[in-house]
Amino acid sequence: MALLWSGVLATLVGLGLYHASLQWHSGRMLEMLVIGILFAGAGMLAVRLLHWQAATCVALLFLVVLVLFSGLPAAGACLLFALAAIALGVRLVADENPALQGLLGCAVIVAVLGWSLPLPIHHPWVYAGACLLLIASNITGLRRSLGAVPRQWTAVVSPHPRLALFAVLLLGLASTACWLPTAQYDDLAYHLSLPWQLQDNAVYRLDPTYQVWALAPWAADVVQAIPQVIARAEARGAVNLLWLLATVAGIWRLAAQLQLPFAGRWLSVAMFASIPLTGALLAGMQTELPTVAALTWLSAWVLAPRHGGLRWWLVLTLLAGLLMAFKLLAGVMAAVLVLVALLRHRWPSPAGILAILLIGVLVAGSSYLYAYQVSGNPVLPLFNQIFHSPYFGQTAFIDARWLAGFNPRLPWDMTFFTGRYVEAHDGAAGFMMVALAGAWVLGLFARQTWLLALIATCLLALPLSQLQYLRYAYPGLVLLCPVMVAMAGNIDRRRGAGLVIAVCLLNFAFLANGHWMLRNGGVKLAILNAGNDEPFLKKYAPERLLAAQIRQRGTGEDNILLLHPQRPFFAEFGDRGRSVAWYSPSLQAAGERANADASGDGWVRLLRQQRISGVILVPALLQPGQTAALKTLDAVPAASIGDAQWWRLPAAQSPMESMR
């Protein structure tokens, strides 16, 4: 008991001593509180009218609002993809949770699309037709899988309607990040490229010359691309909701395997939803969100009663392969669980081992093989000091910002000095690593929880041992949620539940600290502007609005260059996008050489060589050579939004023409 409550005292001391409490944004918390009260009130009204459970009504209200913000075409395309994935997954595991079936179907679909990315076949009618065919071919299995969901939902909500409502409200408030436009740095510089290339060109260009991450594991971006290609519109918010729901189902399964009662399962879900990083990830396209969805289910599969049939290993292989296809680090995490599976479960026959290894390669291997074939480095730009690809520097790729040191203080420091470990404000990690540290330690020694606690701790520590970057440790943190809830309840069920609820509320108070989009009032802007993204983008990412104008007006087949090295938001231009930032070492070097020539001749040559028809720039940051080159080329401003401008250039000449 003393060990459990010592974490509470430590949290109070930390909040009092350090400045995390000073970074609390009361205005943002009050806005979330108002949204929660409004949705809860609307849910109660729906209860009176429809006689449904409050949690059900609130969940449906959040779903309806998300559809309105995402747009009906994007939401419909996501639903079509989800149904197709479940229909395919039912053939692999008929009597299982639809979330697991959907992940398995997703693994197969992503594998097929990953290998076919260089082929010009990625048309809306191909994607939509394939989804409809998958659904129609197994409509009976799909109906059987989804038909039981309403009854199962009622069964888990009825025993604890208030806790269910609490968890659903926290999930809904976290999902408000899905209402925001795509505006995170990595998304605008990298992740949007694949979906937009498939939408615009029906093919993906395997060329890391202008985007060094072009051949990095792409499964998460392929999933984003499927509904975008079908709907001809970005669908990030709706896709991320699917990942959120799959994770919730996985956490529920893990909590059930720990023999938690329904109350404990709802609290496990609530704790996951309350982590500020959950909302931050829902606002973007980072791989940790799909990673945690697949990882929770892989953990549940491995921790299930001992098995060993070939179909069981097939499911494990698909989940592990999907994780490897998301990200190399996710694949390493999957390897930890595969090792546990090898120790706990009966191995298949030698022929079975070869079969599942082949399937694993097919699911996970497309990006790695293409990267090696094109660049000589299967994980470009990582480990290029080993592979020596000409597309990147011959040194290790390390972000020195996140080398604070691996030590036992990390849980404390990441809680109260979070800004040192991720691009966020202090408190973005939530407070469970300190407040529930006692439950964490006890979980490592309890028969009920020790294996999951050990796995979660390993997956938390493994990435931090190499790079002290909190987002990479997020999957391990999520896996700890049911462990902490279980141990708090084992010590004192009533007080333990109260402690968990208090930690969830404290996490919720710091929700906006998870990302600048949330802290700067993105949700408020989205509501006040009725889902119109323009005011938000005009303030924070005007390049996106200029890109939309360029698409509307049309600029031929020539390329677009973004000159701001700190805002290389060129991803949505696909293979036409260019930037002088580090994403393209060759262009970065060429730009630096051109800047040394104040006459502008160097920039004139560079713009012509790259067949640039448009430049997006910030006038105040133009170099003398850039200004001179634009004048020499008779460039004219075509649009201005915020501090960014789009300048049009005359029809680009080829290098040979420019020499005449």
502, 506, 536: which is closest to 429 by C-alpha? 506
Instruction: Classify residue 619: in a domain, yes or no.
Output: yes
Which residue type does 265 have?
Answer: R
Q: Please check whether residue 566 lies inside any domain of the structure.
A: yes
Within a domain: residue 380? no
Token output for 389: 């690809």
Q: Is 630 helix (H, G, I), strand (E, B) or coil?
A: helix
Specify if 480 maps to a domain: yes
Q: Is residue 155 part of a domain?
A: no
Determine the Cα–Cα distance for residues 367 and 116; give it in Å rounded to an integer: 11
Give the distance between the most distant pair of CA atoms in the chain.
84
Residue type, 111: A
CB-CB neighbours of 643 under 10 Å: 13
Residues 46 and 38: their CA atoms lie apart, in Å, by 12
| Contact of 653 with 626, CB cutoff 8 Å | no
Both 51 and 172 in one domain: the answer is yes
Whether 315 and 322 have beta carbons less than 8 Å apart is answered as no
Q: Is residue 339 part of a domain?
A: yes
- 507/545 same-domain check: no
Asked if 514 and 279 count as a contact pair (C-beta separation under 8 A), the reply is yes
Q: 617 - beta bridge partners?
A: 645
Whether residues 558 and 513 share a domain: the answer is no
**Is the residue at 526 inside a domain?**
no
Between CA 551 and CA 532 the distance in angstroms is 19
Task: Evaluate whether 432 touches 484 at the Cβ level (below 8 Å).
Answer: yes
Pair 579, 612 in one domain:
yes
Which regions in the chain score pLDDT beneath 50? 653-660
3-state secondary structure of 182: coil
Residues 493 and 600 in one domain: no
- 131 and 275 housed in the same domain: yes
pLDDT at 45: 87
Residue 557: the pLDDT is 64
Q: Are 160 and 53 in contact (CB under 8 A)?
A: no
Q: Angle at CA 656, nearest 5°, toward 650 and 660?
A: 80
User: pTM for this structure?
Assistant: 0.96
252 and 182 inside one domain: yes
Q: Give me the number of domains the chain comprises.
A: 2
CA distances from residue 605 to 126, 250, 563, 581, 653 in whole angstroms, order as listed: 41, 55, 15, 18, 10
* Alpha-carbon 596 to chain mean position: 39
Is residue 374 domain-resident? no
| Residue 465 CB burial class (10 angstroms; 0-12, 13-18, ≥19) | exposed
Same domain, 504 and 545: no
d(CA 185, CA 137): 41
What confidence score (pLDDT) does residue 43 get?
85
Nearest Cα residue to 233 out of 575, 529, 551, 525: 551
Could you tell me if 515 and 571 lie in one domain? no
> Do 30 and 87 sit in the same domain of this protein?
yes
Pair (514, 480) in one structural domain: yes
Contact 603, 650 (CB under 8 A): no
Tokens for 103, please give them.
């992940």
Cβ(167)–Cβ(269) below 8 Å: yes
Region label for 35, one of left (φ > 0), alpha (ψ between -120 and 50) or beta (otherwise): alpha
> What's the chain's Rg over C-alpha atoms?
25
Closest CA to 539 of 521, 552, 527: 521
Alpha-carbon dihedral angle through residues 432, 436, 441, 447, given to the nearest 10 degrees: -100
3-state secondary structure 596-618: CCCCCHHHHHHHHHCCEEEEEEC
Cite the DSSP H helix spans in 91-147: 98-116, 124-137, 139-147
Q: Which of 487, 519, 551 is at the close of a domain?
A: 519
Phi first, then psi: what are they for 71, rounded to 5°?
Answer: 100, 140
As given in the structure block, the two tokens for residue 98 are 């639809």
Q: Is the peptide bond before 217 cis (omega within 30 degrees of 0)?
A: no
Same domain flag for 175 and 64? yes
C-alpha 645/C-alpha 640 separation (Å) is 4
Distance (Å, whole) CA 343 – CA 294: 21
Query: Where in the sequence is the domain holding 492, given as residue range(s)?
Result: 2-147+161-364+398-519
pLDDT at 658: 41
